[in-house]
Amino acid sequence: MADHPLPELTPLSEPYWKALDQGHLVFQRCTCGHAWLPPRLQCTACLGDDWRWERASGRGRLVSWVIYHTAYHEAFRSRVPYNVAIVALDEGPRLITNILAPASALARDMPVTLAIKREQGFALARFRPA
């Protein structure tokens, strides 16, 4: 099996990856109140740079998803069909992820909870139905 594509660790993204490795999910929140993922240097709402990391509850809702029936990278060939989903965390930010459930179990606005999975030495944020 081919190696999975790996995340790029940068000084900006390191707190995100360290938190997952320690068993929880974090996101950024600006003093204007806006929250986001993935990590960025500036707020996507006000373009300010006065933000902090916050710990997420690990709860959210399924916003949308697609089911892949073709592997566009060799590493995912054994996983087809698989889903790629957008989860809205209870705290506001949205995250592109996978739902650990069969396609028939997925439903719009379905409550989900964080399920950290390890692949290729990285802790990854996945979700399962709540």
Q: What is the value of pTM for the model shown?
A: 0.92
pLDDT of residue 120: 86
Nearest to 60 by CA among 27, 89, 83, 36: 89
Distance, in Å, from the CA atom of 127 to the CA atom of 86, rounded to the nearest integer, reads: 10
- Give residue-wise pLDDT tens across range 11-59: 999 999 999 999 999 999 999 999 999 999 999 999 999 999 999 999 9
Distance, in Å, from the CA atom of 52 to the CA atom of 16, rounded to the nearest integer, reads: 12
Give yes or no for residue 1 having a pLDDT over 50. no
Distance, in Å, from the CA atom of 55 to the CA atom of 28, rounded to the nearest integer, reads: 9
